[in-house]
Structure 1
Amino acid sequence: MSETDEIGRKPGKNIGKIVTDATLRALKPGGTATDSLPGRGNGAIYFDCKPSGVVAAFYRYAIDGKRRKVHLGNYKARPRDTGRTLAELRGEAQRLALISAKYGDVAEYLAGQEAAATVDRIERQRIAEFNAARGSFDDLFLDYIESRRGKATPGVVKELERLHKTNMQTPHPAIVNMKARDIRADHILTILNPIWERGSKVQADRMRSFLVAAFNYGLTVESVVGRANSKVYGLEMNPAATIKVEKVSVPVERALSDVELRQFWETIESTEGVGPTMALLFKLVISTGGQRIKNIIETTWDDYDLDARTVRLIHRKGRGGQTMGRPHLVPLTDRSVAIVTQAKVINGNHPWPWTTHGKQPFVISSPTHAVVDWLDSKHATIEGQKVTSFSPRDLRRTCAQLMQKHGIDDRLSDLLQAHGQTGVVAAHYRNNPEAALPEKRRAIDLFDHALAKVLGEVKEQADNVVPLTPPK
């Protein structure tokens, strides 16, 4: 008699319609078993013992009279084996039976699902890569700063970097790390309101202007050919453009009185928080007749010719900025030469006279902070009265009014300060700055004489001017 299994089937033949774990563990290589699913036409689980002894399970069903199989996994004979238990295989087979009843060909349906999942995975990856490439608010502002290099003056770029750190990066890290396209007006207000509330109302307005410019840059930069930065921003609007900063009423007529000017001159060097170089900068601004402090800050030692007693300034007012500079040759008096000589002792080994560490010139806000320090000091009290607030820019107006009070012709005053120079005369002087130097020297000599009176170096007796120091 031939050998039979526990249910009377010969090895290698298809065993029964309902199987057990014992049945599957007893299968030999080449042996098969079928476990029919409940319900007519729902198919069955087909077990096939491979030469390795592993029992592979398939969901078997019929389409148009043809049998087809979908792999369910391997049968898990022991707890430490990999694969699925008989109960798990039956559960998965029943799920596929429902798919077969609804969609027909299970293999075709699963292939379609896998293809759709692949497409979805690729799309999610594409979106993730796109979002990774899409720049943050921080990226946008830094990108804008880089775009200003070579166009704006180094001082403006340095000021942008300072404002980025003090007004954005340090106090609002969560906002700056947001995607630029997700920034809304309320985020801009979160940045600007603290600046306004601490009393820096002009800075709040400037900060808003820079933010508007940065977002305007981001709206168009992706269309620029040859751009080094690969970040994209996908901006649809400028959130900063909708914000309005209440205009601050800044006094435009503030000029220091003679007493205030003398007090400032004599005490700025001894003011706590004001370094010696900054104090010399203020004195040079005053002694040169009120030159724009920003233009003097930007000078290098190459701009000074102490033998010729001149300093070459570059005026960059208007839209031309860095690329449309207008030279302005300023004569230096003995007083100014002495000031520059003192600065050379301090910073002669640096490219710029007006610097703290030699890495770059003062940022444009530094003189403002120095004036605030002076106003907060004991020196800003004269005869028991606090000096009214003023800014470094008011020194220019102070010098202009000083010239006017002492009868210096307005044309000479304007020429010395490079103020209102237009038309043919301006074109001539722009092409040849030295052409106006003789008249500027006459203006600066008259101004220095007026300044000497203010500083108490000379006094008037009737129509004569008498030096306080006896002649040598």
Structure 2
Amino acid sequence: MAIVNLTNAFLRSIKPPLEGRAEYWDELTPGLCLRVTTSGKATWSFRYRPKGGAGFQRITLGSLIDLPLAEARDRARRHRTTIADGGDPQRHRKANREAAKNILTFDALAERYLQEYAKPRKASWKNDVGYLKRPRAKLGNKPAAAVTRRDVIDLLDGIKVDAPVSANRTQTVLVTMFNWAVEGELLEASPISGLKKRAQEQAKDRTLSDDEIRVLWHTLTTTTDVSHDVAQALRFLLLVGQRPGEVAGAAQAELIALDRPKEARWEIPAARMKGRKAHVVPLGSQAVAILQDVLKQRKIDGDGISVFASKFASRSTLARHSLSQGLKRVIDRLQAEDNDRAHAQSLKDHPPTPHDLRRTVGTGMARLGIPREDRKAVLAHVEGDVHGIHYDRYERLREKRIALGAWERHLSSVIDMREDDRGVVPIRRRSV
């Protein structure tokens, strides 16, 4: 039994055991233990002896991915206080669960999930609000503990008729909500544990070819079908590969050292990241040029907040769906010169989404030989194990700058060339 002074640095250094499981007991908080399995799954627990009890009890606190060290210590200390007052954390948890069975409706559970889990932890929590609307309308007054597998299947199959993808997204949110309720001792078990997705979805593997990138890039340069800010945001997304919502909601305060090429970067705060971990994106010359272009207009507008501005008075930054709608409008009205008609038709036949542009960046970096770990760092793909949770936002900054620099150079070569009957010839670069 290893007793150590647990720190975030120590947690980052932990490696999964070759067999069985490893236990790390916190020196500062008696009873607090982190268990790590061979798969890398790390779970907090608290071991204690109730007053008058004959043996030790253990209560699970949560996974490392959901429960930082400081919060795990706080929960353990609260349990110790309960024990000192003559209570038993396990018995207390079971009593809460029994009480919840009798009074907790599905609607109340959904609201607690949104307020206590989704909103504090998920940048996309508003999507969860939307996906829970139909379940709450149908099951809202039913006790959460009385919701059956059949109830949920009937609900999802009803959604699937007109919106199969929405049915699957709704199911994903329900799975998360029920699992959260079980972990929090609000329910004994999830009614949909192990339930397969109710609808078939086409695999998400759409990426743009270099020819499609060139056609789309130059179309975005000249189009009047969308606002200048939407067009620039889509081009910026193709350069940096971040999530559409993160690009659309970029704030001026997040942009650092745009006048210093070797230091220029975009620091996205944890609150706007999908994984709730702050992220740093190095910026190349083309990305900076796009930002400087839109920031000139922000200065004229007297807008000191947004980067890509919304045309609606109710908000300052673009909404994520503005990029989706804008890209669709551009492609629907796409026209191209003779040499590019086939590539333009390909875009129309298989219209990409903003997320496909992000996927194109990741796939493109792979084709350029960028190591997988560096690509993951650029795209902020965090693993859900002991290694993927606690990290310094500036880790791999140099590697990320090299990776995005290679991608930007490749993109420059693509958008500055076109094919005609005489071969590959350069075309004039349009200013951004």
If the length of structure 1 is used for normalisation, what is the TM-score? 0.51
Q: Is the 8 A contact 2:164 2:199 kept in 1?
A: no
Task: List gaps (5 residues or longer) in structure 1.
Answer: 1-129, 224-232
**Which residue does the alignment assign to 2:413?**
450
Q: Is 1:353 the equivalent of 2:307?
A: yes
Q: Is 1:387 the equivalent of 2:349?
A: yes
Structure 1 388/442 Cα, relative in aligned 2: closer, same or farther at 3 Å?
A: closer
Q: Is 1:287 the equivalent of 2:239?
A: yes
Q: Aligned equivalents of 1:200 and 1:345: distance in 2? A: 41
1:303 is displaced (CA, Å) by: 1.5
1:241 partner SS: coil
Q: Which amino acid aligns with 1:189?
A: I
1:147 is displaced (CA, Å) by: 1.7
**What is the identity percentage for the equivalent residue pairs of Structure 1 and Structure 2?**
17
Q: Aligned equivalents of 1:242 and 1:418: distance in 2? A: 33
**Which residue does the alignment assign to 1:311?**
265
Q: Aligned equivalents of 1:163 and 1:256: distance in 2? A: 30
Q: Aligned equivalents of 1:195 and 1:311: distance in 2? A: 43
1:296 is displaced (CA, Å) by: 3.1
**Which residue does the alignment assign to 1:62?**
none
Q: Is 1:410 the equivalent of 2:374?
A: no
1:338 is displaced (CA, Å) by: 2.6
1:410 partner SS: coil
Q: Aligned equivalents of 1:238 and 1:470: distance in 2? A: 56
Q: Aligned equivalents of 2:429 and 2:106: distance in 1? A: 62
Q: Is the 8 A contact 2:118 2:128 kept in 1?
A: no
Q: Aligned equivalents of 1:143 and 1:444: distance in 2? A: 43
1:421 is displaced (CA, Å) by: 10
Q: 1:144 aligns with which of 85, 96, 113?
A: 113
Q: Which amino acid aligns with 1:240?
A: I
Structure 1 285/340 Cα, relative in aligned 2: closer, same or farther at 3 Å?
A: farther
Q: Which amino acid aligns with 2:293?
A: T
**Which residue does the alignment assign to 1:217?**
180
Q: Aligned equivalents of 1:286 and 1:372: distance in 2? A: 15
Q: Aligned equivalents of 1:175 and 1:416: distance in 2? A: 40
1:441 is displaced (CA, Å) by: 6.9
Q: 1:163 aligns with which of 131, 137, 140?
A: 131
Q: Aligned equivalents of 2:131 and 2:265: distance in 1? A: 30
Q: Is 1:399 the equivalent of 2:399?
A: no
**Which residue does the alignment assign to 1:73?**
none
Q: Which residues in structure 2 correspond to 1:184-263 (within 5 Å)?
A: 184-201=148-165, 203-221=166-184, 235-241=187-193, 243-246=195-198, 248=200, 250-263=202-215
1:211 partner SS: helix
Q: Aligned equivalents of 2:376 and 2:179: distance in 1? A: 38
Q: Aligned equivalents of 1:194 and 1:362: distance in 2? A: 33
Q: Aligned equivalents of 2:204 and 2:181: distance in 1? A: 35
Q: Which amino acid aligns with 2:167?
A: A
Q: Is 1:296 the equivalent of 2:283?
A: no
Q: Is the 8 A contact 1:343 1:353 kept in 2?
A: yes
How many residues are paired up? 310
Q: Aligned equivalents of 1:275 and 1:195: distance in 2? A: 34
Q: Aligned equivalents of 2:110 and 2:391: distance in 1? A: 40
Q: Is the 8 A contact 1:413 1:443 kept in 2?
A: no
Q: Is the 8 A contact 1:151 1:321 kept in 2?
A: no
Q: Aligned equivalents of 1:337 and 1:253: distance in 2? A: 30
**Which residue does the alignment assign to 1:134?**
103
Structure 1 429/281 Cα, relative in aligned 2: closer, same or farther at 3 Å?
A: same
1:213 is displaced (CA, Å) by: 1.6
Structure 1 136/396 Cα, relative in aligned 2: closer, same or farther at 3 Å?
A: same
Structure 1 400/256 Cα, relative in aligned 2: closer, same or farther at 3 Å?
A: same
Structure 1 333/179 Cα, relative in aligned 2: closer, same or farther at 3 Å?
A: same
1:145 is displaced (CA, Å) by: 1.2
Higher Rg:
1
Q: Which amino acid aligns with 2:126?
A: K
- Aligned residues: CA RMSD: 4.8
Structure 1 287/134 Cα, relative in aligned 2: closer, same or farther at 3 Å?
A: same
Q: Is the 8 A contact 2:101 2:144 kept in 1?
A: no
Q: Is the 8 A contact 2:268 2:278 kept in 1?
A: yes
> RCO higher in 1 or 2 (8 Å CA, sep ≥ 6)?
2
1:302 is displaced (CA, Å) by: 1.5
Q: Aligned equivalents of 2:176 and 2:251: distance in 1? A: 29
1:378 is displaced (CA, Å) by: 3.5
If the length of structure 2 is used for normalisation, what is the TM-score? 0.55
1:199 is displaced (CA, Å) by: 4.2
**Which residue does the alignment assign to 2:216?**
264
